[in-house]
A and B are shown apart, each in its own frame.
Chain A
Amino acid sequence: MKNIIELKDIHVSFDGEVILDHFNLAIKDKEFVTLLGPSGCGKTTTLRTIAGFVQPQEGRVLFEGQDISKLPAHKRQVNTVFQRYALFPHYNVYENIAFGLRISKTPEEEIEKRVKEMLALVNLKGYEKRNVSSLSGGQQQRVAIARALVNNPKVLLLDEPLGALDLKLRKGMQNELLRIQRQMGITFIYVTHDQEEALTMSDTVVVMKDGLIQQIGTPEDIYNEPANPFVADFIGESNIFGGKMIRDYLVEFEGIEFPCVDAGFGENVAVDVVVRPEDIEILDAQDGMLCGTVETVTFKGVHYEMMVRSDRFLWKIHSIKCREPGDKIAMKIIPEYIHIMKKEAGTVN
């Protein structure tokens, strides 16, 4: 599939502070791409660069292979769903949605037909005459989506569109957004700092930190094969600690050698090891080598979260089995669940 948007070596700084550091990204047509990262990492700036509100000091933005870097925002064929919506307070729902069509001088019958379609798409039939300030957050959100989609953009940019909604509404809207994206068959570039949202919705996740891309991949890749400790920690919960790669397929930590599925690091090389809390099996103390003492137990709904102190590390374990604080246990980790990463400065040894 061809690329619809490409960012080539984009460099943005504000007042000497680097926000996007020689940023490269290619987005395929009809893809649901999510930019994921902590607040302030440059997600909004990336979207604004694509939309034309930020002029990068260096680099180019390509749209279907054409350089659009010099094109002003109003001439770009992308539309944005803004963070906290930015609806027009002086227009009603109908006029908000019709705005783009009126600008492009669409005939009145066509406007009416398209606005009606959009209202149906976002489940807001009958709200035409309503004042936008009288709508709930979720409804305003739908108007913002309809207002952008009515122009048939090839790419829709969404900046934390569900950030202001409560949990239940957010889940519902996630499904609706996915349905809309499939139905319209267009590219979504979606910004969020919520890793769960990113994993459940996207075809591709782009993990960012301090204006740099940390990893690009499918949600499964990102979750199962985090490229570095930052990604591992940001995507879901993790036990991250230092270890030593004895040779291919054999790693040592806590003074014990474990078989693993990774290779190519060399022999006797310090590495970082990641183990997900849910990938650790609890055994009775005499049945395993890696032992520890339960310090705290918290009920989390589906599972219990236990903090277990071993010789060198405090482990986080998610399990449906419950142990009492003070209990001695053993931990079993199968080779597939041991993720090895190149050593980075600053991890606990």
Chain B
Amino acid sequence: MKKKLIAVPYYVWAAVFIVVPLLMIAYSAFTDTQGNFTLDNIVQIGKYWPVMLRSVLYALVATVCCLVLGYLLAYFMAQQSERTKTLLMILLMLPMWINFVLRTQAMQDLLDLLQNWLRLADIPLQVSNNPFAVVLGLIYNYLPFMVLPIYTSLEKLDRRVIEAAEDLGANRFNVFRKVILPLTMPGIGSGVIMVFVPTISTFVISEKLGGAKHNLIGNVIQEQFLQVYNPNVGAAISLVMLVLILFILIIFSALDEETKEGLL
């Protein structure tokens, strides 16, 4: 009974700030500016499919890169002494204390600088205002969200279980494949969600680093709300994205189950 009472503020919070806005989005998506029911908004989304697919693709690439880099970093961190761990943790978190827009602008400036040098050195390599720059920006900004949950699950790992595997003949590769990886799957799962979901709907990074040419679906939604003043279409896109993300996450977790089976 007490537990239920404690949860009440959360239910109120969830109702006011999660359920109600979702219902409002759904309502807007299926109505026109006069509030009459219509499917027009949904139909209009057709022309944004390429942008949507591009967003999914960028987010996937960024998530996979974050996963590989983040796992290596977390693994390295978990093996250090307590002092080094704290230091590395601060270094990892430090950039997050700086304003997101400012950080992204700084990255843009750095890439422009690099681009100038490349041009002067006559190297035909494009590093700014292109998809590469956008994905790089996504990785840079969201890497900590991958590292933290994986690091936590590595820290929780029982040393004795690893020794048990070695004792039974497993070399380092097998220890990783059959013990460490499966036991850190929960960390990987949260990391993937925490990187994939925000990267798929980002708009600041793509706007700054993509040179306005490489718009993602986040930019389109922002445009609909703030420039074209067509919130109904914006809401429809958001709704479709929501379903899409849910769908992709379900595929992820199915893959996760399959890898677990495959690892045996």
B193: interface (CB < 8 Å): no
Query: B222-264: which have CB < 8 Å to A?
Result: 260, 264
CA distance A51 to B165 in the complex (A): 12
User: In the bound complex, do residue A88 and residue B164 qualify as a contact, i.e. CB atoms below 8 Å apart?
Assistant: yes
User: In the bound complex, do residue A151 and residue B161 qualify as a contact, i.e. CB atoms below 8 Å apart?
Assistant: no
Interface size on B, residues (CB 8 A): 19
CA distance A80 to B160 in the complex (A): 11
User: In the bound complex, do residue A73 and residue B167 qualify as a contact, i.e. CB atoms below 8 Å apart?
Assistant: yes
User: In the bound complex, do residue A74 and residue B163 qualify as a contact, i.e. CB atoms below 8 Å apart?
Assistant: no
If the complex has contacts A86-B158, A90-B182, A103-B174, are A53 and B163 also in contact, measured as CB distance less than 8 A? yes
CA distance A72 to B260 in the complex (A): 28
Among the stretches A94-102, A173-181, A201-209, the one at the interface with B is A94-102
**C-beta contact mask, B158-184 vs A, less than 8 Å → 1, else 0?**
101101111111110010001100110
Residue from B166, B168, B170, B171 with most neighbouring chain A CB atoms (10 Å) = B168
Q: Residue of A at shortest CB range from B159?
A: A86
Main secondary structure on B side of the interface with A: helix
User: In the bound complex, do residue A79 and residue B168 qualify as a contact, i.e. CB atoms below 8 Å apart?
Assistant: yes
CA distance A75 to B167 in the complex (A): 8
Residues of B near A89 (CB, < 8 A) are 161, 183
- Looking at the complex, which one of B163, B169, B182, B183 makes contact with A103 (CB distance below 8 Å)? B169
Residues of B near A91 (CB, < 8 A) are 264
Residues of B near A100 (CB, < 8 A) are 168-169
If the complex has contacts A95-B264, A99-B178, A102-B264, are A86 and B164 also in contact, measured as CB distance less than 8 A? yes
Mind listing 19 A-B residue pairs with CB under 8 Å? A73-B163, A73-B167, A74-B167, A74-B168, A74-B170, A79-B167, A82-B167, A88-B164, A90-B182, A90-B183, A91-B264, A99-B170, A100-B168, A103-B169, A103-B178, A104-B169, A147-B168, A148-B168, A151-B169
Question: Apart from A86-B163, A104-B169, what are 11 other A-B pairs with CB-CB below 8 Å?
Answer: A73-B167, A74-B171, A79-B168, A80-B164, A82-B164, A88-B161, A90-B179, A91-B264, A99-B170, A99-B178, A148-B168
Residues of B in contact with A (beta carbons under 8 Å apart)? 158, 160-161, 163-171, 174, 178-179, 182-183, 260, 264
Of all A-B residue pairs in the complex, the 6 with the closest CB atoms, nearest first, are A100-B168, A86-B160, A86-B164, A73-B166, A103-B169, A74-B166
